[in-house]
Every structure is written in C-alpha cells, then in structure tokens.
Amino acid sequence: DAGITQSPRYKITETGRQVTLMCHQTWSHSYMFWYRQDLGHGLRLIYYSAAADITDKGEVPDGYVVSRSKTENFPLTLESATRSQTSVYFCASTEGGGHGYTFGSGTRLTVV
Amino acid sequence: EDKVVQSPLSLVVHEGDTVTLNCSYEVTNFRSLLWYKQEKKAPTFLFMLTSSGIEKKSGRLSSILDKKELFSILNITATQTGDSAVYLCALTQGGSEKLVFGKGTKLTVNP
C-alpha cells in the first residue's frame, strides 16, 4: 500500500532496553521526520533527514539515534530507554516546499 | 527562539456553535502556516496559508492568515460532534522543511 507506515503500533519495554521504531514511506519523499507527542507539549521534533545519509537533530534529540541508509526508511532507536521516553511517536515525510506533509499512524511506546 | 502559541488550549461548545481557534507566532523567515486536525491518531491536513488576507475554505471550516500581526485563525461554523479533536497549528520557515508545532487546541463539541 502506498503511504507511510510505522511499526510497531504499540510497544512496552523495560528501562534500559534498546528499542527501534520503524518508519517506511512509499513516495520516495526526500524529507523524513520523527516527532514525539506528549500532553502539554504538543508535537516536538526529535530528528529529521533531508535525504539518504543526511540527518540532523531536532528540538529533543537526546537519547535517540536515527539512520537513513535508504530513502524510504527512517528508523528511530532509543539506545537505553527511560521512563521519560514514554510517548506517542509520529513519523512524517514530505517532498518539500513547505507543504504536503503526511504522518504515519504513530507508535505508542511505554517504558516501564 | 521561534514560537507558535495556540489559544485557547481547550474549548467545550454545543453542537451548532461557531468557534474560532487562534494561532500566533514569532518566527524568522516565515514561509507557510499549516492547520491540522488530530483525532486520537495521525494529524490530518486542513489548510496551508502563505499569504495574508486570503481565506481558505473547506465546507464549514475556514482559515486566514495575518502576516503583519503574526497570527492565523481557524473558524468552524455549525459545529458537529465529529469536529471534536485537537487542532494543531504549525509553521515552516524558508530554508528548512521542519514543522514547528503549537501545543494544540482541544475542541469538544457536545450534542
């Protein structure tokens, strides 16, 4: 199916574990983003990527790692999960020009 | 620091009411302002505004941008329970594709 797909939809993990959230888009959009959404904070940018092998930090990058070896995939890794990383994570993509952003359905991550 | 401020943070109305949601901003090199609707899942696109004074309209929803006073409003007329959602305002800047979001306005429409 065309679109942007996130997996898993739900994840519970323990403090200290490494977790990877996946994001896959089928449009070959150049730009991809990871946001986290928390009550009282709205959507905050974690990392973004302008193209394969080009990534940059957003507003809240600490504790996260990204890679983009292929245009269509943009995984987000929590190297050692903490309770403060309990959140809903959204992946998004766009071809650029300040419009045409599409969001994935989100991953609800709980760190216990 | 770039800033997007939405007001009110929450709003409860009755079906049939008209609501106005506000988004003010401070950002360098403004390019576009976008409105999204979020209902317990991914944000869905409503409008993109780039020029002052030009109203964008879709059914009962409309939006306008004032680049001089640095704000935008989203109007919803004859509200329905299906309009209950969080409405998000976001900006882009020239030279960057990042979206900068406000905290959102939670709208509840009661029957």
Residue A1: predicted pLDDT: 55
User: Would you say residue A87 has pLDDT above 70?
Assistant: yes
CA distance A40 to chain B (A): 7
User: Would you say residue A2 has pLDDT above 80?
Assistant: no
Kindly report the number of other CB atoms within 10 A of residue A77's CB atom.
14
- Within chain B, which residues score under 50 in pLDDT? none
As beta bridge partners, residue A57 has A47
**A98: alpha, beta or left, given left = phi > 0 and alpha = psi -120 to 50?**
left
Residues of A in contact with B98 (CB under 8 A): 33, 45, 48, 58
Residues of B in contact with A45 (CB under 8 A): 98-100
CA distance B78 to chain A (A): 27
* pLDDT tens digits, A59-76: 999 999 999 999 999 999
Q: pLDDT tier at A16 (50, 70, 90 boundaries)?
A: very high
Q: Which of B31, B25, B23, B30 is nearest to B7 (CA)?
A: B23
* pLDDT tens digits, A34-62: 999 998 888 999 999 999 999 999 999 99
